[in-house]
Homo-oligomer: A and B are copies of this chain.
Amino acid sequence: MVKNKIKKEGLLIVISGPSGAGKGTVCRAYLRKHRETILSVSVTTRSPRRGEKEGVSYFFRDKVTFKSMIENDEFLEYAKVYDNYYGTPKEYVFKHLEKGHDVILEIDIQGALKVKKNFKEGVFIFIMPPSMKELKRRIVSRGTETPEAIMKRFKSAYDEINYINEYNYVVVNDSVEKAVAKIEAIVTAEKCRVDRNRDLYTNICEGGLCE
């Protein structure tokens, strides 16, 4: 069987975009439809909150451990947010990719740019709000923030859209179902890319059939 001889690695699907574009909703909807796809789990130094589980919500580590992981180059990316560290562990991601599972990483734009430096084989998808008006509406409708915080968030989302050129794909999130369908198509297409199928030619010729 030719099929079994082809080593099929999973894809790292990086779902990113400005705050308020709806990347979390899109990821959850995609994962519900694709049970074999793994959501990347981050390492953090912050304390577990009620109900959070080790290895599911996060990998909880103390700062000494986290810093030694930084030194050992164990992160695809990491960042310090206020007093705590957050990072994407290479081991967890690579382990699943090698098993042939796709891994989804939902991450902000600064994080995605760092991942791209370390793992350009990833598929970088920018989730775009349908319009800046809609983005504003979404930020406002959260209802938990002051007008100043809303304007800051909105301004930051606007600035971040400039980074779109660093991504492979842009998916406008006008409806979650359509956005998920586009991500599904992107994943299927990426698996057909010639540069991801270098061993196909070798395998198709095995068994002395290419003489």
Which of A's residues lie within 8 Å of B, judged by CB?
A: 2, 125-126, 128-133, 136, 158, 161-162, 164-165, 167-172, 181-182, 184-186, 188-190, 192-194, 197, 200-201, 204-205, 207, 209-210
Question: Taking the full assembly, how many copies of this chain does it contain?
Answer: 2
A–B pairs, 11, beta carbons within 8 Å: A128-B204, A129-B204, A132-B204, A132-B210, A133-B207, A161-B205, A170-B197, A172-B200, A181-B188, A184-B185, A185-B188
C-alpha gap A125/B200 in the complex (Å): 15
Inter-chain pairs besides A158-B210, A162-B201, A172-B200, 19 sampled, C-beta below 8 Å: A126-B194, A130-B204, A131-B209, A133-B207, A133-B209, A158-B205, A161-B205, A165-B194, A168-B193, A169-B189, A169-B193, A171-B192, A181-B188, A182-B188, A182-B189, A184-B185, A185-B189, A186-B188, A186-B192
